């Protein structure tokens, strides 16, 4: 008898309403990371001019990503806080020039601040990616509901500066699933419809907890929402392999493939081409056997 996993038993939403257009995510999609920060853990400082931002956005799209995720606030462990006006200025400048150059691109903005989210949407962003799921700015869920854009809600404890000390759970998977049950109920009361779940690899979780989370990623399908996996070049990879982030591409692809097999709908990555190839091969693997 074939052993079946949790992903075989629960249906998950397969479309997102992006500015009135339905985006199909029945086949997994890739989100390319575009950090416009000076201090992100892997690519900080690379994309701070308009020319470099447009070049990076064009590369993300040409390599097959469905989404561009713009981040103007570094959320790496121990990262320092920056003022809201500085984050807003960086985000809006990046979104504006990407939207002008690539008007059909679906731009996500990685922010936990409602004011930054609203300004970014006003200038062309179409998805909000919140590392705190509304915990760091209680106005965020209502703001996103009013803006009528999809919302990526991530699990985290504390802030980027404090989260490493908060990786203590009674039952890791149950605690995070319960967290999202409560969040989704609250979002529903606000009329927030398109929600994507991000279990938060590397955020208030130890390396062993990250691997436990990946092993049981399919359990989150019980929530009925698409799952985003953000594993790209994270410390669970390069520390396990005794490497540096710059060497962690192969490890990232390996774990992205496991995430796809566990039911991830979106891979958030630095390296788009390799992630798209992983999705293509995973999709071929899933197809019924045919005679070549």
Are the C-beta atoms of residues 219 and 180 closer than 8 Å to each other?
no
State the number of CA atoms in the 13 A half-sphere of 200 facing the CB. Answer: 29
Reply yes or no on whether 138 is catalytic.
no
CA torsion, ordered 23, 145, 119, 60, to nearest 10 deg: -20
Catalytic residue among 113, 157, 234, 262: 234
Q: What gap in Å lies between CA 94 and CA 245, rounded to an integer? A: 25
Q: Is 183 a catalytic residue?
A: no
Q: How far apart are the first and last CA of the chain?
A: 28
Partners of 129 in beta bridges: 110, 152
Structural tokens at position 163: 């989260």
CA nearest 260: which of 61, 106, 30, 59?
Answer: 30
Q: Which residue among the candidates 56, 96, 183, 268 is catalytic per the annotation?
A: 268
Residues 6+ apart with CB under 8 A from 160: 74, 75, 76, 77, 78, 79, 131
Query: CA-to-CA distance for 213 and 34, rounded, in angstroms?
Result: 25
Q: What is the distance between the alpha carbons of residues 150 and 133, in angstroms, rounded to a whole number? A: 12
Token pair 């950090």 in the structure block, residue = 35
Hey, which residues are catalytic here? 234, 268
């Amino acid at each position: 008898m074939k052993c079946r996993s949790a992903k075989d038993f629960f249906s998950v939403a397969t479309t997102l309403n992006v500015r009135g257009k339905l985006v199909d995510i029945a086949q997994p999609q890739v989100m390319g990371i575009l950090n416009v920060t000076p201090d992100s853990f892997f690519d900080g400082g690379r994309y701070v001019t308009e020319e470099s931002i447009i070049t990076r956005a064009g590369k993300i799209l040409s390599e097959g990503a469905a989404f561009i995720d713009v981040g103007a606030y570094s959320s790496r462990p121990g990262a320092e806080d920056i003022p809201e006006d500085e984050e807003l200025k960086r985000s809006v400048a990046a979104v504006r020039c990407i939207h002008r150059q690539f008007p059909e691109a679906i731009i996500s903005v990685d922010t936990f601040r409602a004011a930054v989210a609203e300004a970014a949407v006003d200038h062309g962003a179409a998805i909000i990616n919140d590392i705190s799921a509304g915990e760091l700015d209680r106005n965020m869920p209502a703001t996103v509901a009013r803006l009528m854009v999809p919302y990526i809600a991530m699990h985290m404890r504390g802030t980027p500066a404090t989260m490493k000390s908060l990786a203590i759970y009674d039952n890791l998977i149950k605690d995070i699933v319960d967290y999202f049950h409560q969040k989704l109920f609250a979002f529903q009361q606000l009329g927030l419809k398109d929600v994507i779940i991000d279990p938060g690899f590397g955020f208030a979780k130890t390396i062993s907890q990250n691997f436990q989370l990946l092993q049981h990623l399919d359990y989150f399908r019980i929530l009925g929402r698409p799952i985003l996996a953000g594993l790209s070049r994270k410390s669970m990879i390069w520390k396990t392999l005794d490497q540096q982030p710059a060497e962690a591409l192969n490890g990232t692809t390996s774990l992205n493939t496991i995430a796809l097999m566990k039911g991830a709908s979106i891979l958030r990555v630095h390296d788009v081409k390799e992630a798209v190839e992983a999705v293509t091969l995973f999709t071929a693997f899933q197809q019924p056997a045919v005679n070549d």
